[in-house]
Amino acid sequence: MSILEKFFLERSKTMLLVVDVQEKLSRVMDPAVLEKSTRNISILLEASAEMEIPVLATEQYVKGLGETIPELKEKLPAAAMEKMTFSCCGCETFPDELARLKRPQVIVTGMETHVCVLQTVLELLDDGYVVHVVTDAVLSRRKENWKTALKTLAAAGAVLTTTEAVLFQLLRTSGTDEFKKLSKLVR
């Protein structure tokens, strides 16, 4: 695999994954971190819609943790898949949906970084996907868990990135109507 294949996102090869950003789990997050992460996930959802990038979302144990928070749920193109396993890859429908999309690059956002995000990313990497973890769009209740998970993910081969880096990699050029519209999201 070339450097560009791993580190440079291609619109036609990419999909976005939103992992378990749910009501009850959100209540125990640091409010400032939750606000920033929610804003960044929202930016990525809006950009994905504009660029026709597929999106998958999951919800962990909905009965106990609630549904996806309203500000993100309204931007999802389809209902989130409910799961009981921490890794999205253990969800009954997720592997089939992932295979159907035929997108080798997965942009990952969500919570908690050290549990569901970590386990999902490790399995995706093991299955041969190129995974970009958006560090300002993943969160954990405790900063130490978040930091340790990011170190583990980088060591495993995930690309650590940011919302703005993802957006501009997917845009590629300035001066277009699409650039003018989407670049406003990060100003």
Q: What is the pLDDT of residue 175?
A: 86
Task: Tell me how far apart the alpha carbons of residues 60 and 79 are, in angstroms, rounded to a whole number.
Answer: 13
Q: What is the pLDDT of residue 181?
A: 83
Helix, strand, coil fractions of the chain, as percent rounded to 5: 55, 20, 25
Encoding tokens for residue 49? 């819609």
Catalytic residue list contains 20: yes
Closest to 79 in 3D by CA, of 51, 52, 55, 48: 55
**Marked catalytic residue, from 75, 83, 88, 136:** 83
* Average pLDDT value for residue range 141-157: 98
Whichever domain contains 61, its CATH number is 3.40.50.850
In angstroms, what is the C-alpha Rg of the chain? 15
**Marked catalytic residue, from 88, 89, 91, 116:** 116
Residue 18 has pLDDT above 90, yes or no: yes
* Average pLDDT value for residue range 159-176: 94
DSSP state of 22: B
Could you report the per-residue pLDDT of 92-117, keeping only the tens digit for each?
A: 899 999 999 999 999 999 999 999 99
**Marked catalytic residue, from 20, 75, 88, 136:** 20
Could you report the per-residue pLDDT of 26-66, keeping only the tens digit for each?
A: 999 999 999 999 999 999 999 999 999 999 999 999 999 99
CB neighbours (10 Å) of residue 8?
A: 16
Query: What's the domain count of the chain?
Result: 1
Domain that residue 92 falls in:
3-186
Task: Tell me how far apart the alpha carbons of residues 35 and 137 are, in angstroms, rounded to a whole number.
Answer: 10
Catalytic residue list contains 116: yes
